[in-house]
Structure 1
């Protein structure tokens, strides 16, 4: 079930200015795939610029001229007398690059970010367009598709400033354990912390996989994939909604005990010995796929991904990771965070000359036939059908999808969209051939006993000012506390938390309280 929402806003760089200029481009070749079209316009073609992530994937196609972009230009561009030109932005630097583009007046007509704090900052300095009137005029299908709840995440100070994508897959973090190792040891699948601890000790002492350098629990540096799952949630004490929403995790009852538990595991050699140095998670990937790891926590579908599952199968054919729920709290629940209903935030820079065309583009994209082609392409070429569910055929060249189901091109949705939640889950499972049941089980586990992030509708200026510093500081604090000597833990925790609050943590919390109370008053 869903519980109350809480929030950690992400940091954002300060903008110098806000402006936008469209840029021209060549008309790419058209696709032959069918799709609905709009009424043709007259006059010189207009260039609509749209941001796209450049993920730097080896062998990726031209991000401006491939199967998907040609389809877009054939079935939206031509009927609307427009050329849709994509502006690549490096995924790893998306916020920094976006800030530079906005400040230089070169941001695309349709820009986006996953960081709500960035959008709220742009809204506050009047750098992006208010969209209420344009949506009412040109975005009826888009509005109907997204619905009020999803759209509410793009409202700042009562005005629609962004178009959030609909997130159809809400599972986030999962936990996985080597069932084959448990079977060799005659141990059950852990259902609580104590049982997990016993399993980790047995992995360390008995090394059921017979590997060099066995790692009971594989992790990477804090802030990377391979996290600590919902171990903290299993220690949390009671708080009021206001406290839960506004205070940093460092002040949450039970947080200190959770880190002390992890410190104990580290000092007993149950956690990756050099995890704090693994700033890219590449070492953790290598340890898992080489069959050295007995338990880990990462994205709910991580062991199902081709690069992990196939490498593991090649190196350790008998390895069998299964999803588990093991961090039970005092109420008997496995409290864990899930994604909100919203995904990427799409917005239009204030100086755009093509705002109406931009909304028409997103409106066109919300058509089910359009979304299906952009996610799955042509049957027999880009996907095959099995039991009524499309399965992507992974390809290189023009047909390659550089992101899962082309989410970098399908800006109105994050996740599978087949128009039916049950079909969506089946499609998610179908993306992991041979592991379909594991996928279904993991998704079910990680959408049970969940809470989601609270959405603040007003920018927190202190978070904008201190957020990046506090985020980096928090990651370093976590790593230090896990690797320190047990006798030093209590005093070090208190010292680091005091420094965190003095470095901006208290200012962010105080402003959170102010905004939260104002939001509650407005509901009355």
Structure 2
């Protein structure tokens, strides 16, 4: 998903906030930017997807959502930059480095902290208290305020956090049409989980028999950061493999002795690394592992070079659908990976998504924080 974590949470928070935005103004921190029609101009860092699913004629720059916001709230949303995946992260980094950030953008927790430390984003505490709707406050309360508390620095609310459910264990998606063509039947007990042996044997069959029919079929391709600490950024990772060994890299865990343990430094994590090396030594892991970017691997999946795709439950909507578009015959079936004792492991974490930050220079932060429904009622 990996790259969808920011996209989903940022889009949801931003759209909810703007659709419920305040009617009133605030004391300007600089001259308000307006377009030729007198609408307040709000620049955003726009996260995009290769397959946008927008109606014909619409674009990220001009779509029903932006037109509604302009009509109802007098806010003209303009993209300061548009980017997808790793490119979006790079654009955010460049904006932070230059000190010239958009009025609004979705960022990670670390990026939020960096922005706050550099005094580039607004303290939203008072704006949130005054303008946030009861509905949005109730949403945060339903999570025991985990998200809103995570957005605080020195007691100040420095961003609007996204919410996320517990997405369960990471999965591995197989090209079902390839399995059918090769006569491979997985999951004989029907529990929707497979073993590492089944994963390995299928990767070997796909590669040796060139299941993609293009002479480029790979067994597996994994992102060079290998694992994710949650469902976010878990697309194209070995997270499910490590979890099957009882390893939870990049997570802090409580050990049997009650002391804190870093999940990347456990014996189980070493077993996971050893197994990934085994896949590489056997030629089943992409020989260019380490240099392939996330976007490279995504392109390989679309082009029919990969038939085994690790990722969260919703990867089908924002990634696998691209392969389906390129090849209508492509179908995918997801499985969890079970441990030696037949269990499926995963990490359950509080539902904190990305963070929507507001530039300290933006004159109308209340337009980002929700307010009264009457602003959009006829």
> Structure 1 stretches of 5 or more lacking a match?
1-19, 29-44, 78-82, 371-524
- CA pair 144-368 structure 1, distance change in 2 beyond 3 A: farther
- Report if the CA contact (8 A) 1:48-1:357 is conserved: no
Calculate the TM-score normalised by the size of structure 1.
0.50
Q: Which has the higher contact order (CA 8 A, sep 6+)?
A: 2
1:257 to 257, 266, 271: 271
The match for 1:445 is none
Cα deviation, residue 60, structure 1:
8.2
Aligned partners of 1:137, 1:357: CA distance in 2, in Å?
12
- Partner of residue 185, structure 1: 183
Residue 46 to residue 207, structure 1, CA distance change in 2 (3 Å): closer
- Distance of aligned partners of 1:260 and 1:220 in 2 relative to their CA distance in 1, 3 Å threshold: same
State the distance in 2 between where 1:115 and 1:325 align.
27
Check 1:65–1:214 CA distance in 2 against 1; reply closer, same or farther (3 A cut).
Answer: closer
Tell me whether 1:295 sits opposite 2:303 in the alignment.
no
Distance in 2, Cα, partners of 1:179 & 1:89: 38
State the partner residue of 1:94.
Answer: 91
- Deviation per CA, 1:256-302, whole angstroms, max 9, x where unpaired? 221211111122122223343433543x4454345443422145344
Deviation at 1:70, TM superposition (A): 2.4
Relative to its length, the structure with more helix (as a share) is 1
Contact 2:96-2:115 at 8 Å conserved across structures: no
Deviation at 1:217, TM superposition (A): 2.4
How many Å apart are 1:323 and its aligned residue?
A: 0.4
TM-score normalised to structure 2 length: 0.67
Structure 2 SS opposite 1:336:
coil
Q: Which of the numbers 319, 324, 331 marks the counterpart of 1:309?
A: 324
* CA deviation string 1:73-114 (max 9, x = no partner): 21122xxxxx4443523432332243156x35x642xx2332
Q: Which residue of 1 aligns with 2:33?
A: 24
Q: Distance in 2 between matches of 1:143 and 1:114?
A: 21
Does the 8 Å contact 2:123/2:156 carry over to 1? yes
Aligned residue pairs: how many? 317
1:34-49 aligned within 5 A: 47=40, 49=42
Counterpart of 1:469? none
Does the C-alpha gap of structure 1 residues 170 and 186 become closer, same or farther in structure 2, counting only changes over 3 Å? Answer: closer
Structure 2 partner of 1:130: 123
Distance 2:354 2:262 in 1: 24
Unaligned 5+ segments in structure 2 are: 1-28, 188-192, 227-232
Which shifted more, 298-307 or 137-146?
Answer: 298-307
Could you say if the C-alpha distance between residues 143 and 312 of structure 1 is closer, same or farther in structure 2, counting changes exceeding 3 Å? same
Pick from 276, 300, 308 the counterpart of residue 290 of structure 2: 276
Residue 199 of structure 1: SS of its match in structure 2?
helix
- Superposed CA RMSD: 4.1
Change (3 A) 1:342 1:117: same
Q: What are the within-5 Å matches in structure 2 for residues 423-502 of structure 1?
A: none
